[in-house]
């Protein structure tokens, strides 16, 4: 079935045309979200791109809803991006869109380990923005990319580019050889060793470590460190690795009954005890209080 019949014939969630506004020079989220709005929420929606410092004023002037902007409803939450929030906010249950969300989140947050397609989406989006200076033309071309990604997610995920059995066998042998060579030749670079030492040195006193600040100290571009980070840190992104260290520190602090849970949340850099409880349980399967209660008696 053609894309037009699978997308445009849907029953849309809202019926009143809305205006939406975000900051200029879109790349990932700020193209993916307008695509989602126009294809699944409001086909007649108007999208505006303005300088960052004008978004809120122009939103009032144009009666537009801001998105992918801090301190607004439609924005990032924890490790999720704005595209994730749109799906949740409008209760869109399409499995293909949920698969796309992971790819978009990985590309938009530099967590390319989330999906193998994330780095490719980032590369294409960055190149498109480099080639096209007009934001509305950029959105028009970007819509084609997300139409194609949706068709792949809905119909083609199990289809392989290589179809010939002999060719598949040769590729399998070749890839096995490359994996072996990569394992034998891969050495931890100097910057990764230095970064690990910096994180270990600061984790007890600076739980709001910034990848940008650390990268500047290493004299390496943040995007490169972000892209390469998971290779040398247990296949975790920078944020995931820092969160893991914070949880490990919290586990140590929970052994001391003199610390309240609120104090531990503060000492490990969480915004509040509720946030601490949620993240701790996601990592350990237990609430902090249950974890403390189940500790061996000394």
Q: What is the CATH number of the domain that holds 196?
A: 1.10.10.60
Residue 283: predicted pLDDT: 86
**Which pLDDT does position 235 carry in this prediction?**
81
Following CA atoms 164, 166, 172, 178 in sequence, which dihedral angle do they give, to the nearest 10 degrees? -110
Which residues fall within 8 angstroms of residue 284, CB to CB, at 6 or more apart? 247, 251, 291
139 and 240 together in one domain:
no
**Least-confidence region, from 42-51, 75-84, 182-191:** 182-191
Q: What is the mean pLDDT of residues 175-203?
A: 64
Query: In whole angstroms, what is the distance from residue 3 CA to residue 144 CA?
Result: 11
Q: Does some domain include residue 141?
A: yes
Q: For residue 165, is pLDDT > 70?
A: no
Q: Which of 138, 156, 174 is the last residue of a domain?
A: 156
Q: Of 156, 179, 207, which closes a domain?
A: 156
Out of 23-32, 158-167, 217-226, the most confident range is: 23-32
What integer is the mean pLDDT of 211-239? Answer: 76
pLDDT of res. 168:
62
Same domain, residue pair 229 and 123? no
- The answer, yes or no, to whether residue 11 has pLDDT greater than 70, is no
Domains of the chain: total = 2
Its pTM stands at 0.54
Domain carrying residue 137: 3-156
pLDDT band at 42 (very low <50, low <70, confident <90, very high): very high
Domain membership of residue 164 (yes or no) is no
The pLDDT score that the predictor gives to residue 167 is: 60
pLDDT score of 103 more than 70: yes
pLDDT of residue 186: 58
Mean pLDDT of the chain: 82
Measure the CA–CA gap between 293 and 285, rounded to whole angstroms.
Answer: 14
Q: Is it the case that residue 51 has pLDDT exceeding 70?
A: yes
Q: Which residues contact 261 (CB under 8 A, 6 or more apart)?
A: 273, 276, 277, 288, 289
pLDDT of residue 150: 97
In a domain, 143, yes or no: yes
Q: Per the domain annotation, does 166 fall within a domain?
A: no
Q: Is the pLDDT of residue 243 over 90?
A: no
Q: How confident is the model over 64-101, as pLDDT tens digits?
A: 999 999 999 999 998 899 999 999 999 999 999 999 99
- Report yes or no on 288 lying in a domain: yes
Output phi, psi for 253, to 5 deg: -70, -30
């Amino acid at each position: 079935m053609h894309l037009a019949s699978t997308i445009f014939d849907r029953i849309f969630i809202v019926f009143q045309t809305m205006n939406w506004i975000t900051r200029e020079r879109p790349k990932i989220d700020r193209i993916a979200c307008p695509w989602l709005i126009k294809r699944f929420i409001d086909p007649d929606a108007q999208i505006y791109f303005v300088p960052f410092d004008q978004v809120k004023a122009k939103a009032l002037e144009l009666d537009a809803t801001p998105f992918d902007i801090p301190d607004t409803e439609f924005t990032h939450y924890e490790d999720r991006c704005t595209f994730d929030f749109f799906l949740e906010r409008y209760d869109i249950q399409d499995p293909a869109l949920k698969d796309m969300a992971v790819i978009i989140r990985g590309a938009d947050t530099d967590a390319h380990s989330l999906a193998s397609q994330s780095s490719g989406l980032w590369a294409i989006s960055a190149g498109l923005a480099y080639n096209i200076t007009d934001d509305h033309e950029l959105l028009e071309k970007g819509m084609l990319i997300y139409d194609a990604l949706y068709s792949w997610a809905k119909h083609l995920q199990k289809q392989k580019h290589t179809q010939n059995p002999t060719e598949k066998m040769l590729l399998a042998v070749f890839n096995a050889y490359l994996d072996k060579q990569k394992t034998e030749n891969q050495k931890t670079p100097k910057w990764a060793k230095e970064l690990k030492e910096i994180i270990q040195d600061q984790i007890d006193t600076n739980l709001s470590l910034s990848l940008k600040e650390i990268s500047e100290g290493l004299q390496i571009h943040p995007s490169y460190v972000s892209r390469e980070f998971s290779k040398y840190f247990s296949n975790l992104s920078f944020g995931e690795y820092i969160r893991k260290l914070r949880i490990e520190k919290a586990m140590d602090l929970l052994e001391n009954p003199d610390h309240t849970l609120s104090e531990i949340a503060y000492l490990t850099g969480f915004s509040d005890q509720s946030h601490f409880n949620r993240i701790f349980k996601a990592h350990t399967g237990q609430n902090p209080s249950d974890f403390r209660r189940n500790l061996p008696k000394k």
